[in-house]
Structures are given as C-alpha cells and as structure tokens.
Structure 1
Amino acid sequence: MFRHADAIKRIKVGDDVLRIKHQASRIARVVAIAVAGLSIHHGAIAADAWPAKPIKVIVPYTPGGSTDTVARVVFEKVSQSLGQPIVIENKPGANSTLGVGVVARSAPDGYTFVSVLAAYSANMSLYSKLSYKPTDLAPVAEMAELPLFLFSSKKLPVKTVAELVDYGKKHPDTLTFGSSGIGSSAHLTGERLAMESKVKMTHIPYNGSAPILPALVSGEISMAFDPLLVPMPHVKSGKINVLAVASAKRWPSEPNIPTMEESGFPGFVMSSWTGLLAPAGTPQPIIDRMAKEIAAATRNPDVTKKLTELGFIPVGGTPEEFRKLIERDTSRYGQIVKAGKITLD
C-alpha cells in the first residue's frame, strides 16, 4: 500500500514537472515571437522617426571635384524632401580610403554616409590592406554615371581610335596617357586600352584632374580619358581632339562622337560613377528610404539639368542594383590591376 501511494505521488510530481516544463516552453515561444517582432519592427520604427536631426555625408575628396559636385547637387534636393539639413564634409586622402574608413567605423544610425566614386571598387585591389572591409559598408544607391571620353593631343596625327592604335604600333614607346592619379578610373581605363590594343602606353599620373587639360593642349601627353565638361570647349576651339566615349551609348549632346565599342573594342564600357554608402548595420528601412529620396532627386528636372550640364548621367536606383555595380567593377578593375601589376601600397 505504501509503495502504491508512493508511486502515485511520484506520478503526480512527474505530471506537475511536465506541466511546468510545458508552460515554460510556451512562455519561451511567446517571448521569442515578441522579440522577433520587436526586431522586425525596430527598423520600421527607426525609419518612421528618421531623420530627427541633421545628416552628415562625407565626401572623401577635395571640394569642387566630381564627387563633391554631385553630392551637393543631389543632397540639396534630398535635404528639402527630408526636412533636415544634410551637411557635406570633405575628408580627402589616400585615394578616398581615409574618408571611407571613417564612415565604416561610424555608428549605423542613419546619420552618417559617404559618397564614393568607382575608385571605391578599384581600391579593393590596389591596396593589399585597407582599414575597412567591404562588409563594413552597405550600398545605398548609385547617384550618377560619369562617362569617360578619350581625348588626344593635336600633336598626335590621329582622329580615330583605329588611327591611334595604328600610330602606336608604328611608333613604339611613344604614346603616353594622363590621369588624375594612380588607380583612378581614367588610369585603369587607359591601362585597359593598352592591354586590349597590345600597344605600349606610358601612364603619367597627375595630382588631380586639373593639370590634365594643359598637358593635352601642350602635347606633354598623347591622350587621356576624362569627363566631357572641361576638355570639350577645347575640342570645339580646335586645341585637342576627341576620339571616342567609353560608355554603352553615345552622349546625347555630342552624337557624332563614337563609342569605344563602335571604334573596334567590343564591351569597352568603363564609365565612372558616384554613389552613396552607409555603415553596415544601418536599418534597412532607412537605407531604402534614402535610396528612394536619391532616386526622386535625380529625376527632378533642375537636378537632371545641372548634372547633365556637368557631364553626368543621373541614375538613382536600389541598394541591390548598386551592390551589383560595385561587385561588377570590383572584379573588372581587379583584373586590370592584377594584369598591370598596379599597387598603391
């Protein structure tokens, strides 16, 4: 009898334990669901309250350059739409890696961004070690494309890309090309032309893009890939020549200039671009909101007019589209850097 009662007691205790365990499990599931719900809605809440204070966009180049210009034109309109000031802070140095590194280490709260050029992709291969990793930054949106045109000195007796290549083969070691610096889009585009044409072309790096035009006019360099705005008036006045544009399509305002593809180099599309990055971990709803604001700004007639006059093609787009562009150019520039044994270390 004692054993029977003891057994019943153990069974009841066991039932109580099971019931307690079941209740604990159910509570744990409820808590987990609640936490998950909070996580899901955290970004949305942050986006709803954002922006509650001024936003900072770091431009890792000097004032007045292409990245700086696009950032100021686009974010003036974005600021009006968001109802908060957007402060542009120039932090040049180390081929843009200094400013990018600052943002990579910034709080991912939606109040710090960095505007970059295509050099951001090239730097992944140009430096053996950077102060940041690609995973430290999140793509927001491409803002504008910057087509590169091939200009040549009048002292070079050529008016087409085919004539340029032919001249280079007949006069070895004579062709030179300038750029705004080692690792710039213009530099790597010139290297690609040299590789694909199998013509030796000596690179002459300058401290920025300003000295390139005088060097072209004087004949100090044979040619250069450069945006349209500054050199084109000198083409019109007969001081230099323009041979082609390294974009997928001809430039609307200059339809007589052929593309590099039309000039005998299939797939030769090497336009630069400018876009926006955020610190990794920035709430996705904030990134998406900023991307939409940028897209709306680039569609604004005043912004479109200003950017087009400066030689840019307004783009706008999604974070995913910008991510794919960065990955594509990281691979493309990486191949050129490796083949040309180019380094900035």
Structure 2
Amino acid sequence: MPIVNASARRELITATAAIAAAISAYAAAPAYAAAWPEKAIEVVVPYTPGGATDTVTRIVMKKLADRLGQPVIVNNKPGANSTIGTAMVARAKPDGYTFVTVLAAYTVNPHLYKLSYSFDDFQPVSHMADLPLFLFVSKDLPVNSLSELVEYGKKNPEALTYASSGTGSSAHLTGANFGLQAGLKMTHIPYKGSAPILTDLLSNRVSMVFDPILVPMQYVKENKLKVLAVTAAKRWEDEPNIPTMGESGFPGFVMNSWVSLMAPAGTPKDIVERVSTEIAAIVQEADVKKLFNDAGFVPVGGSSAELTELIKKDTAMYGEIVRKAGIKLE
C-alpha cells in the first residue's frame, strides 16, 4: 500500500470535500434552466386590449412562445392607471410563469397613488421598446416651431392648453415638464382616450398634445395638424424633418414612454436572464422592427440591470415634475 504523507493526505481530504460539496449543491439547486418552462406562461397587460402596449406585448410574446416551446398567454387586466393588473402580479408566485408589462407610468404611480405594492415586489426583466412622443399642435395655432410656440405662450398668458389621456399619464407629465422648462402657464385638459383628444385638437378646442406618431401624423400630412418636435434623443427615421426637443432649445429634454417586462420579486435569476436574452434578440428581428416602427415604437432590448437603472432614473425625474408642477389626482 503506498505511503501518503500528512501534507498530501490533508490536500486529498480538502479536495474530496470540495468536490462533494459541489455535487451536493448542484443536486440541491432547482433545475430551472433545464426544466423551465414546463407549462404555459401568463403575461398580464394592465391596459385595455388593442392599445399600443397590448400590441407590442403580443408581438413579442408570440415570438417568445416559439423560442420557449410553450404558450405565452397575454391577459388584459386594465384599471386605475395600470395599478390593478400590476398589483395582481406583485402577489403572484415567483416561479417564472407570471410576468407583467409596464409603461413609464409605473414610475409615476408611486408619486400619485397609494399603492398596494412597491418596486421591491418586482424583478425587472427587459426594456422591450421606447415610445417617443411628438408635439402636435392645432393647425389654427399661429406657430410653426417650438420657439414660436414659447413666444406665443408668453405673449398670451394662460391661452395654451395641452391634452392627455389622464392625470399622471406620460402625455400629462411631458406637457407639465415642457411648461416648467419653458416658463409657460398652460392648462392641462385630461381626456378618456386618444379619440376625443384628436377631435378637439382638430377643431382647435385644445392647443396641443404630446402623443405617439401613429395616428396624428396622418392629419399632419393632410395639413389638418402641425408637428413641432419629438421627445426622443434623436430624430424619427421615417420623419427626419421633425427636430428633437433638444435641437429646438430644450437640451436634455428626453421623455419617451416605454414598454418593459417585469416579474414578481424572487423569480429565479436564470429565468430572468433567459427571458431578457430572448427578448433582446426578438426585438431586433427584421419583421418585429418593422411592426414596431409601424406602431411608433423603437426596439430596445437590454438587461435586467439596465432596466433597473432606467426605472430609478425615471422615478426620480417624474417625482420632481409632480412636485414642481403640483400635480395631484383629481
């Protein structure tokens, strides 16, 4: 029998113990990456069917289902500026089978609502897309640029009104921020939906709205509305003549709405990373990019960590706007 000295014996025992511990840990760890998903996945959209958020979610989830080999069921649970459906997912089991789509309003709501959930109840997954907003104004308003709009507003105090789909919406906060930065006193007019906004904008009953490009742009092409700027960091590729807010005298004015995917806190990290990686690839597929573009969206993708930083940034930004503008639920 070979003789093993004391030093070699200690090294052998240490190595054996380390291997045994590794095997034990591997056996005890849940095999999410190998087994998941074993059944259908639910994605809650806390908005009505057929809207922009719903459209983006369904485009991406159809592709995700193909990649994962399991159905991804999109359920609409609208109400209370998205807080009803979002709260449902906050209470869901964090097993990788329930997700929720959130907009930039997710970072506004804590400043306006008493919520039954907090950011700590969620795990950011993927920043799917941005939704740039465009400043559309009534054709009868005697302005053709952002500088002319500011000049008109200062010469006609309290004459300007701006529409939104409701208190706390992206259009509301963007309009409020524009008023603050321009030094204008404007009146906010909340509506229930986009259709009545367009009706009143076309008939000059409201001065302006920050809105996605999809529907109002057709009226610009018919000379029934005017568009002055886009809130994105760069110009819209299909409409390169529309300047950004930054180019129009408001440096750093970037206030996109956005669509992101979240999971209940505690959802396994490997599942979060898998979904994030798949979505990052999906939104860059040619057909998805075209569908997004046709709906007014810009594909983003990105990691859970990047989405976490976006949420922190926008929460601070919107909180400051709400405070400075004195915004309260009506």
Q: Provide TM-score, normalisation by structure 1.
A: 0.88
- C-alpha distance in 2, partners of 1:35/1:182? 56
- C-alpha distance in 1, partners of 2:187/2:27? 55
Letter in 2 for 1:209: S
In structure 1, the residue matched to 2:6 is none
- C-alpha distance in 1, partners of 2:215/2:43? 26
- C-alpha distance in 2, partners of 1:35/1:187? 56
1:71 matched to 2:61 = no
Where do 1:214-225 residues align within 5 Å?
214-225=199-210
- C-alpha distance in 1, partners of 2:135/2:304? 31
Map Cα deviations across residues 215-242 of structure 1 (whole Å, 9 max, x no partner): 1111111000000000001000000000
1:47 matched to 2:36 = no
Which residue, 239, 249, 265 being the options, matches 1:264?
249
Q: Cα distance 1:33–1:331, how it changes in 2: closer, same or farther (>3 A)?
A: farther
**How far apart are 1:33 and its partner, in Å?**
5.0
**How far apart are 1:174 and its partner, in Å?**
0.6
**Alignment length (residue pairs):** 314
Q: Provide TM-score, normalisation by structure 2.
A: 0.92
Question: SS of 2:213's equivalent?
Answer: coil
Letter in 2 for 1:120: Y
- C-alpha distance in 2, partners of 1:232/1:141? 29
**How far apart are 1:300 and its partner, in Å?**
1.1
CA RMSD of aligned residues (A): 1.8
**How far apart are 1:47 and its partner, in Å?**
2.1
Which residue, 184, 192, 197 being the options, matches 1:199?
184
Where do 1:44-193 residues align within 5 Å?
45-127=31-113, 129-193=114-178
In structure 1, the residue matched to 2:283 is 298
- C-alpha distance in 1, partners of 2:148/2:301? 37
In structure 2, the residue matched to 1:10 is none
Question: SS of 2:209's equivalent?
Answer: strand
**How far apart are 1:214 and its partner, in Å?**
1.2
Q: For structure 1, which runs of at least 5 residues remain unmatched after alignment? A: 1-25
1:244 matched to 2:232 = no
- C-alpha distance in 2, partners of 1:277/1:341? 29
1:341 matched to 2:329 = no
Which residue, 267, 280, 286 being the options, matches 2:265?
280
**How far apart are 1:344 and its partner, in Å?**
3.0
- C-alpha distance in 2, partners of 1:167/1:131? 43
Max Rg structure: 1
- C-alpha distance in 2, partners of 1:57/1:290? 12
Percent identity for Structure 1 against Structure 2: 58
Which consecutive aligned stretches of 4+ in structure 1 deviate over 3 angstroms post-superposition?
32-36, 38-41
**How far apart are 1:155 and its partner, in Å?**
1.5
In structure 2, the residue matched to 1:21 is none
Map Cα deviations across residues 126-147 of structure 1 (whole Å, 9 max, x no partner): 22x2110100000000000000
In structure 2, the residue matched to 1:211 is 196
Q: For structure 2, which runs of at least 5 residues remain unmatched after alignment? A: 1-13
